[in-house]
Amino acid sequence: MRYEVVLPAAGSGKRMGAGQNKLFLNLADKPILVHTLLVFEQDANCTGIWLAVKDEERSFIQTLIENYNITKVKGLPTGGEERQHSVHSCIKEMKAVEVVLVHDAARPFITIPKITELAEVAYEKGAAIAGVRAKDTMKIVQNGLIKETVDRESLWMVQTPQAFRYDLLVEAEDVAEKVGFLGTDEAMLVERLGHDIHIVECSYENVKMTTQEDLIFGEAILEKRNLRKSL
């Protein structure tokens, strides 16, 4: 299934504490952002990449795009205060397509087979998001005291990509904007419309580079993948 992808890249990376946009930090030999861009560049089903960026970082990102021969970028609109606004700025600029994926630029380890699965489920059912099962026992805590243990069977940690039929995501974003609703992912906006969202079991390797220790996981994942390739 063909799709276009929106990559929000206009964050500040505060939790990483690197004093710059964390997407510019290197993992092995390349910036995090370039690792992510290359996955979509190499996926034959991806027909366009939209990047939400900060105005002051646009020219540097354009240089990265040229240096790494990324050919599919269709636009780099200005991102917003919150991630949802950044995604919206891309959706507003793109022309209608059948399926759109939203993927954190900070998740460089997503694989093409999972992207394909998400795009196909979204095309058939409207909405599909990546997630993994919670590994630890989960408890609700209030004021430092355990209130309740939650049934782990029904708990998932959600990731991106989140894939949607374009019309459905546009409607969800328009409604959210109209009522001033702010969600932490796109699925929340679609949930509010009462539409079913399918979960596609993904990998714990699809980690978001958020804090310093994620860089260590990231280096280890790359090393393991390179080792596998050289066998």
- Write out the residues near Mg ion by the rule CB under 5 A: 11
**Token representation of residue 183:** 């969600």
Half-sphere exposure of 4 (CA within 13 A, CB side): 20
Residue closer to ligand CTP (CB basis): 48 or 108: 108
Distances, alpha carbon 34 to alpha carbons 7, 18, 27, 28, 174, in Å: 12, 18, 10, 11, 31
Residue 187: CB partners within 8 Å, gap ≥ 6? 127, 129, 158, 162, 197
Taking CB within 5 to 8 Å according to partner kind, which of ligand CTP, Mg ion, none is near residue 122?
Answer: none
Q: Which is nearer to ligand CTP, 80 or 222 (CB)?
A: 80
Q: Which has the closest alpha carbon to 183: 144, 129, 118? A: 129
As measured in angstroms, the least distance from the Cβ of 61 to ligand CTP is 11
How far, in Å, CA of 185 to CA of 161, rounded? 10
The residue among 104 and 117 lying less far from Mg ion, judged by its C-beta, is 104
Query: In terms of CB distance, is 104 or 117 closer to ligand CTP?
Result: 104
Q: How far is the CB of 148 from ligand CTP (least distance, A)?
A: 28
Looking at the Cβ atoms of 73 and 106, the one nearer to ligand CTP is 106
210 is in the binding site of which of ligand CTP, Mg ion, none (Cβ under 5 to 8 A by kind)?
A: ligand CTP
Contact partner, 115, from ligand CTP, Mg ion, none, Cβ < 5-8 Å per class:
none
Residue 11 CB, nearest approach to Mg ion (Å):
5
For residue 45, give the DSSP letter.
T
Q: DSSP assignment, residue 56?
A: G
CB of 41 to ligand CTP, least distance (A): 17
Closest approach of Cβ 103 to Mg ion, in Å?
Answer: 15
Residues that bind ligand CTP (CB under 6 A): 8-15, 22-23, 52, 79-83, 86, 104-106, 208, 210
Three-state SS for 31? Answer: strand
Six token digits for residue 176:
């959210």
Closest-approach residue to ligand CTP (CB): 11
Amino acid at site 228: R
126/214 with CB nearer ligand CTP: 214
Q: How far is the CB of 17 from ligand CTP (least distance, A)?
A: 8
